[in-house]
Amino acid sequence: MAFPSVFDYGALRTEFENAGISTHFIPLIWKYVLQNPICELDEVPSLPSSAYPLLRSKFRALTSSLSSAVDSKDRVTTKLLISLQNGTSVEAVIMRYDTRLGKYDGKPRPGGPRSTLCVSSQVGCKMGCKFCATGTMGFKNNLSSGEIVEQLVHAHHFSHIRNVVFMGMGEPLNNYAAVVEAIQIMTGFPFQLSPKRITVSTVGIIHAINKLHDDLPNVNLAVSLHAPDQDIRCQIMPAARAFPLGKLMDALQTYQKNSQHKIFIEYIMLDGVNDQEQHAHQLGSLLEMLKVVVNLIPFNPIGTKSCFRTSTEQNVRKFQKILRGIYNVRTTVRQEMGQDISGACGQLVVNLSEQRSVGSAGLLTDIEDLRI
């Protein structure tokens, strides 16, 4: 029998309210479980006596378990394989940075070491993007809010997590309610992440973008655009047929007008497909009415059957120069992390053969600070 996690806030709140137990005790339960992940719920101190039989009979401290944790050779990336109670698995990736090693507006950044956690929102994905390994799994099921939050609980015991990006397995806005609830939990006690350091990525689910600001007003939005016109988008992202580029851009303009936030644009660089000079000019023209940061992402191999090649460094730099110099669009080139453990962008697909690699983490230059 499957039990919900104590981090499934909606279910736990309903049970507490029906039993006449104050919901103010819920964050105290979360704090204890965060600090003691293998505990029994009977061990949580200072709860009303009526809470213990309810928790024992209807919930579990954690419904998922850590199957493996694999470190990259440079020790800056750790990929977690997390087993769910329904027998499926998801992956989450910890990426370590040091903000002092980068520059902002030509000046050294303040701060110090930090970690970003890339979380999954679904087992598999419906979107079927042709350059993404997760799409080869097909769609299995949505994660509950608790299963999403539990990825943060597992990661907490490897590194202090400052940023969370919903860029792992799945399309977050296709699991809208659970993602919103998970973020609300992450920004509350005891996690207390700043919403400005949480980013939700989407291929462009227009109806969900239209309500995202109202539900999560200070969270960052990232859009996996990957092409400057509808034809190319449909070729490499079949789901784009349901979200025409013109309507998507209208939705982004409305979102930005309401939120006053910059929007992150993710653009994977595919040799000969979307990385030519004309594509850079098309993209610049498309985005010049928005305040955006374009993140150019080198394509990561997803197996020998892939029909795509990685753009040359020369083409990437030329593309960036056009966006910056002609269209004044702020543009970064993502420094890939975790390629050797298939933990880089587009490479997440469950591989049960991976084993734990042990070592202390090093640090990278911070190339994607989410408070831009």
User: Catalytic residue positions?
Assistant: 91, 345
**CA separation for the pair 257, 77 (Å, rounded):** 36
- Per DSSP, 80 falls in state E
Q: Collect all residues with Cβ–Cβ distance below 8 Å to 296 and sequence separation of at least 6.
A: 267, 269, 316, 319, 320, 331, 332, 333, 334
Cβ-count burial of 18 within 10 angstroms (0-12 exposed, 13-18 middle, 19+ buried)?
A: exposed
Other Cβ atoms within 10 Å of 207 Cβ, number: 10
The CA radius of gyration of the chain, in Å to the nearest whole number, is 21
3-state SS, residue 27: helix
Asked, as a colleague might, if the bond just before 190 is cis with ω within 30 of 0, I would say yes
Q: Is 108 helix (H, G, I), strand (E, B) or coil?
A: strand
Kindly report the CA angle at 359 between 158 and 73, in degrees rounded to 5?
A: 110
Residue with tokens 């655009």: 225
Q: Which of 114, 210, 216 is nearest to 161 (CA)?
A: 114
